[in-house]
Amino acid sequence: MATINLNINGKQQAVDVDPKTPLLWVLRDHLDLVGAKYGCGMAQCGACTVIMEGNAVRSCSLPVSSVANKKITTIEGLSANGDHPVQKAWLEHDVAQCGYCQAGQIMAAVALLGKKPNPSDEEIETAMNGNICRCGTYLRIKAAINTAAKS
Amino acid sequence: MNTKTSRRAFLKVSVLASGGMLLSFNSLLLGKSFTREAMSLSAESFELNSFIKIATDGTITLMSANPEFGSNVKTSMPMILADELDVDWGKVTVEQADFYPERFQRQFTGGSQGIRLGWKPLRTAGATARRMLVEAAAKTWSVPVEEITTESGMLYHRGSGKKAGYGEMASLAATLPVPKDVQLKKLSALNIIGTSQKNVEGKSIVTGKPLFGMDYKQDGMLIAMVTHAPAIGQAIKSVDDKAARAMPGIKDIFTINTLRDDYERNAFDTTTFTEMVVVVGNTTWEVMNAKKALKIEWQLAPEKKIMVKGWGGSTQPVVIPAGLESTVTHKAKMKEMSAKPGNVLRKDGDPEGAFKTAAKIIERTYTAPYLAHNTMEPVNCFAHVTAEKAEIFGATQAPEFIMQTLVARLGLPKEKIHIRLARMGGGFGLRAYCHHILEAALISQKVNAPVKMVYTREDDMTYGIYRPTYTATYKAGLDEKNNLIAFHVRGGGVPEHAVHANRFPAGAVDNYLAEGWEINSNITIGAFRAPRSNFIAAAEQSFLDELAELAGKDPIAFRLELLDRAKTNPVGKNNDYNPDRYAGVLKLVREKSNWDQTKPNISRGVAAYFCHNTYVAEVVDLRLDGNKPVIEKVVAGVDCGIVVNPDAAANMGEGAIVDGIGNVLFGEMTFKDGVPEKNNFHQYKMVRQKDAPGAIEVHFVKNEEEPTGLGEPLFPPIFAAVANALYRASGKRYYDQPFEKQIQVNRSRM
């Protein structure tokens, strides 16, 4: 066990956990932030995506010790009222079916738009290819990202 | 269940539920509130029936009875209630009901039946509540019932100028007798049904709120994980848990046996592994690590003979064979069986004789592998079982099927078992099988604590309950004028065949033979989006494409010709489709896709299918980038009757198309010596953003037919539409799914 200082959604907090614990399980089990989802545990599906220092990262495969003091944003920290432009675009296009992967999709989209405010369709496809949606809402995801880029 | 029965049953329930009326929410179930939200209403709330609660402040709460797995029933079904109740959709609150079959009848999500079977009961429930409010107003104002009108949750009496909100009349309405024959709105007067309304849980989804079983947490809750045998056909020999027990955060390690061999199972009690080693601890990561430290020896499981109660209630003996099975062996056995006659499922005319006179004969064999459901949310369930009661919270498509088994196995009466329905992170058929609920409940009972049981992705993907592997051999005979005179399908699989003997083209051919055969196996199978149809449509519609080519006919025109025959002069009596509606979707897709125009560098394929009461035709526009298929566009024509929520319906159609593209190109589970050879997404290729079509259009036939299913019917035709487009792009036919690695341009044919 070790005490690790985390900067999550603008809040500094210390957790006392096995330093090898993936960030995902610290978020979900210790901090009650369950928006990031467990899908594969090996960075293959993107359901656990959060943003660290501006980059989309797979929290299921990042030991918590490696993210100490780094600026981390989860879906819960994206906006106070669910009105981040990407969230709004997701609602406008009524993207979700089951919804399980969508927090990860949204975080990947936010990271993409942070780097490329006006991505081409090809750039969207490349950036979003790591996030599986088993319900197959890919076209709406792409459309929502285009809408968010325009807003 | 037919609609008539369910409606009658529903009305009976309405009477019961509204008999005493001022029902206290505290007394309904296990001393707990029926829904937690109900407790927080500040105004007094009245139930007009199982589905509708109206508070004195006018708050209208509609119950969504069916479990939600992404088909949007939690929005679309309450829309039906709201329309007949005559309220503003924007002002209602929708709540997920707990499992409570005495109130809600059918709480099953599957078979694309939610809207179809809910249509009349939900309209009736809405209209009945509206009528009770009208009667209450008439009584209060001492005016005739006929003079009262409603609009947007308000009651009006034009003559006197009196008006009142529903909330003001709710307490009186709730005491009135339930009217028997209420008038439903005319279809033209419906103003919510047929409009696109957004997912009622959209905001919770995009803000990451805890909605899923996996997100559930309560004080004192422990985490449990199970370890099942690595191979199907194995059982536990010995467990060495010394190292695992010593690891941090671990509370207990033990073995559970979920179903005894002499337990008469229900149809949905499918269980691959009845024995599991369980690790219970404080946190997911700790339990995951301890699970890896278990040292378990496995041995061959013996053959089992069990009894299984089928849908109809009759019990059949089932043999689960011993042994470790492999895909190679399955393929060889299937090939061998395909060469022999199967059980005759339907025979019209004289197929043998007709084939002898045919000018041209074509025979082709199609195969498809096992598929894993791979819902994004791995299997999990919360349970808290004590000596007095059981609390369950989890994802299930079919709570009714597990209740009986929980009663038998936990030793509690069903009144003491409370199942709350979590939003499901996907279902696709997988969550009709409720072994996870039983496992979680037994673990909680053993450790005497609230427990959330979680499968790793690997546990989930290797558990079994797959879409079966299938094959079908089609043979057709054409006469000298290229008329179809003989048709033969022989289908089989492990452990079931996929032949629907009375579906198209049965009825359109004078000489027709359908046969089926099956090979028993210990590899468990289960419903997978459009069971059986998802394979047989691929085979049949690929074959019809090749047959049309042999006959020198356009693939759509060829199908329409057959459908015309089935309409004007049908062969046989049990043809399970309406030729007009079938032809209707083909004509719609022909028009919407501009089928008759060629597009530069684009190859097109068409397929159509009828299943789950809905007709669908799809056209795929595809090009090859090297050997990689790029799907530019898919156009679908759908006849599912009245469309309740058009944009949500289109979303589901788009999803089914994308799902089918993934499965026909990549989807595959294989076995070696009983071991599923893929256990996570690095091995099991899923359809991703780059594989999705450039565009999808879903067009609905506009008619006034009662609504039918939509979750499944757009899935089966896409397999063959892709195969047929791939043929035109590459000059090569594809028979064995998945196709991705076989795609190659046949230059000699181009």
Q: Residue B4 above 60 pLDDT? A: no
Number of structural domains (chain A) is 2
- How many structural domains does chain B have? 3
> Are A12 and A51 members of one domain?
yes
How many residues can be counted in chain A?
Answer: 151
- pLDDT value at position B157? 98
User: Are both A64 and A116 inside the same structural domain?
Assistant: no
> Which one has a higher pLDDT value, B750 or B329?
B329
Same domain, B427 and B521: no
Chain A: nearest CA to B342, how far in angstroms?
Answer: 36
For residues B269 and B241, state if they share a domain: yes
Shared-domain flag, residues A118 and A138? yes
Q: Is residue B726 part of a domain?
A: yes
pLDDT in tens, B626-660: 999 999 999 999 999 999 999 999 999 999 999 99
Q: Do A74 and B208 touch (CB under 8 A)?
A: yes
Look at B208 and A36 and tell me if their CB atoms are within 8 Å. Answer: yes
pLDDT for res B621: 98
Residues 33-72 (A) with a CB less than 8 A from some CB of B: 33-42, 44-45, 47
**pLDDT for B748:** 75
Residues B166 and B261 occupy one common structural domain: no
Q: Which domain holds residue A126?
A: 85-150
pLDDT greater than 80 at residue B465: yes
Answer yes or no: do A101 and A65 share one domain.
no
pLDDT of residue B12: 31
Residue B652 counted as domain residue: yes
10 Å CB burial of residue B2 (0-12, 13-18, 19+) is exposed
Residue A43 belongs to a domain: yes
- Boundary (domain end) residue, out of A75, A102, A120: A75
Same domain, B691 and B573: yes
Q: Are A121 and B449 in contact (CB under 8 A)?
A: no
Same domain, B532 and B655: yes
A88 touches A151 (CB < 8 A): yes
Same domain, B745 and B644: yes
Using one digit for the tens of pLDDT, what is the confidence trace for B212-259? 999 999 999 999 999 999 999 999 999 999 999 999 999 999 999 999
Residue B702's pLDDT is 97
Query: Is the Cα dihedral B308, B310, B315, B320 positive or negative?
Result: negative
Q: In what order do the strands lie in the sheet with A71-73?
A: A11-17, A2-8, A71-73, A49-52, A55-58
Residue A113 domain-assigned? yes
Tell me the pLDDT tens digit for each residue of B519-566: 999 999 999 999 999 999 999 999 999 999 999 999 999 999 999 999
Please, which pLDDT band fits residue A102 given cuts at 50, 70 and 90?
A: very high
DSSP character for B16? H
- Judged against a pLDDT cut of 60, whether residue B121 lies above it is answered with yes
Same-domain pairing of A111 and A138? yes
Asked if residue A56 is part of any domain, the answer here is yes
Q: Number of CB pairs < 8 Å for A and B? A: 186
Mean pLDDT of B576-588: 98
Across B434-483, the runs of DSSP E, i.e. the strands, are 451-454, 469-478
Question: Which residues, 6 or more positions from B246, have their beta carbon under 8 angstroms from its beta carbon?
Answer: none
Stretch B559-582: mean pLDDT, rounded?
97
Question: What digits encode the pLDDT tens for the residues B337-351?
Answer: 999 999 999 999 999
CATH code of the domain in which B236 resides: 3.30.365.10
pLDDT in tens, B675-699: 999 999 999 999 999 999 999 999 9
In terms of domains, do B143 and B231 share one? no
Residues B139 and B252 in one domain: no
Tell me the Cα Rg of chain B: 28
Residue B134 domain-assigned (yes or no): yes
pLDDT band at residue B749, thresholds of 50, 70 and 90? low
- Same domain, yes or no, for A62 and A94? no
Does A80 map to a domain? no
Residues B726 and B644 in one domain: yes
**Residues B256-282: what's their mean pLDDT?**
94
- Alpha carbon of A12: minimum distance to chain B alpha carbons (Å): 20
pLDDT-derived band at B619 (thresholds 50, 70, 90) equals very high
Flag whether residue A28 sits within 8 Å of chain B, measured between CB atoms.
Answer: yes
Residues 6+ positions from B747 with CB-CB distance below 8 Å: B731
Residues A14 and A70 in one domain: yes
Whether residue B591 is contained in a domain is answered as: yes
- Nearest by CB to A102, from B206, B214, B652: name it: B206
Q: Do B102 and B186 reside in the same domain of the chain? A: yes
Last residue of a domain, one of A47, A75, A103: A75
Q: Nearest CA of chain A to the CA of B323: how many Å?
A: 30
Give yes or no: residues A15 and A54 share one domain: yes
Domain finish residue from A57, A75, A93: A75
Confidence of residue B37 (pLDDT cuts 50, 70, 90): very low
* ipTM score over 0.85, yes or no: yes
Q: How confident is the model at residue B30 (pLDDT cuts 50, 70, 90)?
A: very low
Is A58 among the domain residues?
yes
List the domain range (segments joined by +) for residue B401.
Answer: 213-305+379-454
Nearest CB partner across the interface for B692, out of A21, A134, A139: A139
pLDDT, chain B, mean: 93
Residues A58 and A98 in one domain: no
Q: Is the dihedral of CA B491, B742, B631, B669 positive or negative?
A: positive
DSSP string, B410-433: HT--GGGEEEEEPBPS--TTGGG-
Does B489 fall in a domain? no
- By the 10 Å C-beta count (0-12 exposed, 13-18 middle, 19+ buried), B328 is classed as exposed
Residue B429 lies in a domain: yes
Cβ contact A136–B693 (<8 Å): no
Question: In this structure, is residue A136 part of a structural domain?
Answer: yes
Task: Provide the pLDDT for residue B259.
Answer: 94
Q: Are A94 and A39 part of one and the same domain?
A: no
Q: Do B173 and B45 share a structural domain?
A: yes
Mean pLDDT in residue range B258-266: 92
Same domain, A30 and A95: no
Q: Among B149, B171, B206, which residue terminates a domain?
A: B206
> Looking at the domain assignment, is residue B329 inside a domain?
no
Mean pLDDT taken over chain A: 98
Same domain (yes/no): A42, A102:
no
Q: Does A109 touch chain B (CB under 8 A)?
A: no
Domain end, chosen from B439, B454, B469, is at B454
User: Which CATH number characterizes residue A41's domain?
Assistant: 3.10.20.30
* pLDDT for position B267: 85
Identify whether B677 is part of a domain.
yes
The number of helices, as runs of H, and strands, as runs of E, in chain B is: 19, 30
- Residue B138 sits in the same domain as residue B223: no
- Candidates B426, B428, B651; nearest CB to A100: B426
